[in-house]
Chains A and B, each alone.
Chain A
Amino acid sequence: MQLDAKIPQGDLAGKWDNCRFDNKLVNPANKRKFDVIVVGTGLAGASAAASMAELGYNVKSFCIQDSPRRAHSIAAQGGINAAKNYQNDGDSVFRLFYDTIKGGDFRAREANVYRLAQVSNNIMDHCVAQGIPFAREYGGTLANRSFGGAQVSRTFYARGQTGQQLLLGAYSSLMRQVAAGKVTIFPRREMMDLVVIDGKARGIIVRNLITGRLERYSANAVVLATGGYGNVFYLSTNAMACNVTAAWRAYKRGAGFANPCFVQIHPTCIPVHGDYQSKLTLMSESLRNDGRVWVPKQQGDTRNPADIPEQDRDYFLERKYPSFGNLVPRDVASRNAKEVCDEGKGVGETRLAVYLDFQEAINRDGLDLILKKYGNLFQMYEKITDADPSKEPMMIYPAIHYTMGGLWVDYQLQSTIDGLFVIGEANFSDHGANRLGASALMQGLADGYFILPYTIGNYLAQAGFDKQPVDDPAFNLVEEEVNERITGLLKNRDHNKAGTQPVDYYHRKLGAVVWDHCGMSRDKAGLTKALAKIPEIREEFYENVYIPGTGQELNQSLERAGRVADFLEFAEVMVLDALEREESCGCHLREESQTEEHEAKRDDDHYSHVAVWEYKGKNEQPALHKEPLRFENVTPSQRSYK
């Protein structure tokens, strides 16, 4: 596997210009001769499909949901960053670039991150033009708020539903192209595999989720915009359908998988409350501006929080980080919550929660002001937990939220397979080892509206516009393999067989192993243990999973089983990556590599690289390749929050 990042020549600010100038162009009259497949209709997929159709390409857009409008980008709350400097507070493209690369703990490419900051302003302009109802000042100008620890106000927002509004904007542009005949949408289709012919991505096999039939589609290039793999942990803030299957299938066809161990854990989520639980809900981290995090000093203290006097409470973040207090970054807040719970001081029925207490803020500012700031969040919390945060402290616990790792792509967003492009959360690109708040929306839309439409042209201009017939032997072969996998999942037909379990049983089991050993903090012993356990669960899964129904119909158990099967393979590479990276950086904390203050300690001498895994065949150890990271415009520094 050759890793050529194809970073353009020139100084940092000129690289994107140079790239666009050097890229080959497709003549406007020729664009209609090219077909492009886009899998996924989140911010990245919908914006890419719409923009390429606007340019004249023929786009086939696939999604797993019943409509392109439902992709999980819709759940993003906080906002989207842009370096507009509308607040006159000293923001600039370079500052947004610097904050993003530092927030990622210096594990991302300078050139990519700088380009992201450069196009951030175009994104905002386009989204305003689409009629997205952003928050406004009285004078009618766009409002901003500060977010994610940035020292400038650069986050644009539409109430607490920014992701929804941006996605519906991209969806409306997509549907406009559907009406124009340039995009065909294929909803309720799940990508089952990638078809590579002569080293080039030429098509996909999808399963029609209503009829169960396999369908073949070909194109001149394939774009994956299939999101992150957070659901490998079973419980996460991701939507239920989020999965690694498309990315994993591409990996097994030759695409490198980069930094799979970089997974972001968000500190303020509603805790797990029972074995039946299907997902976790995020509460905006803005709550930490006024809430105080604490646990009882005494282990196993089951008194009501109101009955625990001040001297028996441990405000552990304020105690350990006097200058940042409750506002330490996401990874630090998460790890400390886990630490106190591991010490047996956790609260709630499961003992896996800490208090987030607003009493002092209410006493200081009055309930009205606090409700004005957080009323909707208090309501949402009450709806789920039946407890009123204005009367008793919230209970929170960290949860899996976003995956920075993903398929490796070069500067042109092309994977290690020619003609396979990967955008949005599905690629590894711009967030390094930790993503800043309000940057996910920015990256998804940057890739889709303003980067891929240019770079894919460079590939197509050189690839030629021959049509790929879907009766090619390569399609037959891949479809046959997909069929075998489905048959393998359906082989247990006796639900009464001893040891038989439904799909989710194995998903929960896998989730528990990776959460315990490859979650908020990791060490060699735990990771090694996980590496031994995962194949056992996989074996048990194939031996005992019972899936009702057939493959030739709508079968939601079968859909989930296919995804769990891939998670069971992918998890091993994720754990291997965590084991291999013997340093701490961003969200990846190796117990063995900490500063004296228990903070992540990077090892730039040995790990200033992107770890890229190459599939080597069944039962073979994947090969590790390294793309070195060079910092010419910023100097990597150690983070400290004391």
Chain B
Amino acid sequence: MAAKKIAITVKVWRQTDQKVKGSLETYSLSDISTDMSFLEMLDVLNDQLTMEGKEPVAFDHDCREGICGTCGAVVDGVAHGPERETTLCQLHMRHFDNGQTICIEPFRAKAFPIIRDLIVDRSAFDRIIAAGGFVSVNAGSAQDGNNTLVAQHRAEQAMDAAACIGCGACVAACPNAAAMLFVSAKISQLALLPQGHAERKMRAQAMVTIMDNEGFGNCGNERECENVCPKGISIRNIARLNREYLRATLAANE
């Protein structure tokens, strides 16, 4: 399909920092190529604002190929916008119509304080991983790689969970601002692989404790998280997280 030019109106959340109140500002853009990515549209908006002497919109982004997990915003009420399994940077303007008004807001959650405009602080995710999202092995102490056999379907399941990019869309979409899809993805990856078994109980307890302390809510089975996940992480992982947590809290220590 040949590229077209469209004119759009964007309503963007503007907020200087955590201390001040934010609001939606309206801007008009003409000559937006339908081949542009959503972030390239924001680049064009920012150059326009700059040359008008206004403050450009602050937004996080880096790889622009859907893998680093840095970008993200709520577009017309949907985290990462209307395309399924697509990060904001991989969303293209051909999915919008000429004359359309698009509302762009940050990922909102108590545990993700707004830093500026569309940028939020997701460092709570790092603290959850630090609590137990690892295998305790020092460099140099590993045995030969093929001494640990992993059934192919297990490795594939672990990879399905490990594909999480830590973008935080799951939290933004959840009515409870729960981080359970994120936490369960890491718990599942390491519960499915033999390498993770030694620390299984500690991991489930520690990660869930920090998750609660950081102010994330609980899963209410709304499935909004899996609907917006750009990597298609399934809520089956949350079921596995619940089993792992139960096992960790109920079963006796051997």
Give chain A's interface residues, CB within 8 Å of chain B: 47, 50-51, 54, 65-70, 72, 74-75, 84, 86, 122, 124-142, 158-159, 161, 164-165, 168, 171-173, 175-176, 178-179, 185, 187, 210, 237, 239-241, 273-274, 276-279, 281-282, 349, 383-387, 449-450, 453, 495-496, 500, 502, 504, 546, 548-549, 554, 556-557
Contact partner of B129 among A50, A136, A172, A241, CB < 8 A? A172
Quick check: A175 and B50 within 8 Å, CB to CB?
A: no
Question: Using Cβ atoms and an 8 Å threshold, which residues of chain B touch A274?
Answer: 3, 33, 35-36
Quick check: B58 and A556 within 8 Å, CB to CB?
A: yes
Question: Using Cβ atoms and an 8 Å threshold, which residues of chain A touch B123?
Answer: 66-67, 187
Give the nearest-CB partner of A500 in chain B. Answer: B51
Listed from nearest, the 6 A-B pairs whose CB atoms lie closest are: A140-B149, A172-B134, A129-B142, A133-B158, A125-B142, A128-B145
Give the nearest-CB partner of B136 in chain A. Answer: A176
Count of A-B residue pairs with CB < 8 Å: 224
Question: Using Cβ atoms and an 8 Å threshold, which residues of chain B touch A500?
Answer: 51
Quick check: A495 and B190 within 8 Å, CB to CB?
A: no
The answer to whether residues A136 and B151 also contact, given A128-B195, A159-B159, A273-B35 and a CB cut-off of 8 A, is yes
Interface-facing stretch out of B59-67, B171-179, B212-220, B245-253: B59-67
Give the nearest-CB partner of B152 in chain A. Answer: A136
Within 8 A of A (CB), among B50-84: 50-56, 58, 60-65, 67-70, 83
Q: 1/0 per residue B129-161: CB within 8 Å of A?
A: 111011111111111111011111011101100
Minimum distance in angstroms from B186 CB to a CB of chain A:
8
Give the nearest-CB partner of B33 in chain A. Answer: A274
Interchain residue pairs with CB less than 8 A apart (29): A51-B139, A70-B70, A72-B62, A72-B68, A84-B145, A84-B146, A122-B142, A126-B139, A128-B145, A129-B143, A131-B190, A133-B159, A133-B193, A136-B155, A138-B151, A140-B150, A172-B133, A173-B134, A175-B126, A241-B62, A273-B35, A276-B33, A281-B65, A383-B83, A383-B90, A385-B35, A504-B43, A548-B55, A556-B58
Quick check: A54 and B138 within 8 Å, CB to CB?
A: yes
Quick check: A75 and B67 within 8 Å, CB to CB?
A: yes
Contact partner of B56 among A187, A496, A557, CB < 8 A? A557
Contact partner of A67 among B125, B152, B189, CB < 8 A? B125
Give the nearest-CB partner of B36 in chain A. Answer: A276
Quick check: A278 and B155 within 8 Å, CB to CB?
A: no
User: Main secondary structure on chain B at its contact with chain A?
Assistant: loop
Contact partner of B119 among A126, A502, A554, CB < 8 A? A554
Question: Using Cβ atoms and an 8 Å threshold, which residues of chain A touch B37?
Answer: 278, 384
Quick check: B130 and A178 within 8 Å, CB to CB?
A: yes
Quick check: A240 and B61 within 8 Å, CB to CB?
A: yes
Minimum distance in angstroms from A34 CB to a CB of chain B:
18
> A66, A274, A386 — which one has the most chain B CB atoms within 10 A of its CB?
A66
Minimum distance in angstroms from B28 CB to a CB of chain A:
17
Quick check: B47 and A128 within 8 Å, CB to CB?
A: no
Quick check: B56 and A548 within 8 Å, CB to CB?
A: yes
CB of B20 closer than 8 Å to a CB of A: no
Quick check: A136 and B150 within 8 Å, CB to CB?
A: yes
CB of B97 closer than 8 Å to a CB of A: no
Q: Beyond A74-B68, A386-B1: 10 further Cβ-contacts under 8 Å?
A: A65-B62, A74-B63, A126-B137, A172-B135, A210-B115, A278-B43, A450-B140, A495-B53, A548-B54, A554-B115
A187 to B58 Cα, complex, angstroms = 17
Q: Report the interface size for chain B: residues with CB under 8 A from the other chain.
A: 81
A556 to B55 Cα, complex, angstroms = 10
Question: Using Cβ atoms and an 8 Å threshold, which residues of chain A touch B60?
Answer: 66
Give the nearest-CB partner of A379 in chain B. Answer: B85
Quick check: B47 and A384 within 8 Å, CB to CB?
A: no
Question: Using Cβ atoms and an 8 Å threshold, which residues of chain B touch A387?
Answer: 1
The answer to whether residues A133 and B162 also contact, given A72-B62, A384-B92, A495-B50 and a CB cut-off of 8 A, is yes
CB of B116 closer than 8 Å to a CB of A: yes
Contact partner of A65 among B54, B70, B94, B131, CB < 8 A? B70
The answer to whether residues A554 and B116 also contact, given A72-B62, A175-B133, A548-B53 and a CB cut-off of 8 A, is yes
A142 to B142 Cα, complex, angstroms = 15
The answer to whether residues A496 and B53 also contact, given A66-B70, A161-B163, A386-B94 and a CB cut-off of 8 A, is yes
> B3, B50, B62, B158 — which one has the most chain A CB atoms within 10 A of its CB?
B62
CB of B227 closer than 8 Å to a CB of A: no
Contact partner of A171 among B64, B129, B141, B193, CB < 8 A? B129
Quick check: B50 and A548 within 8 Å, CB to CB?
A: yes
Question: Using Cβ atoms and an 8 Å threshold, which residues of chain A touch B146?
Answer: 84, 86, 141-142
Minimum distance in angstroms from B99 CB to a CB of chain A:
20
Question: Using Cβ atoms and an 8 Å threshold, which residues of chain B touch A86?
Answer: 146
Contact partner of B92 among A140, A239, A386, CB < 8 A? A386
CB of B11 closer than 8 Å to a CB of A: no
Question: Using Cβ atoms and an 8 Å threshold, which residues of chain A touch B166?
Answer: 67, 69
A517 to B140 Cα, complex, angstroms = 46
Contact partner of A142 among B47, B50, B145, B189, CB < 8 A? B145
> B47, B116, B122, B129 — which one has the most chain A CB atoms within 10 A of its CB?
B129
Question: Using Cβ atoms and an 8 Å threshold, which residues of chain B touch A384?
Answer: 37, 90, 92
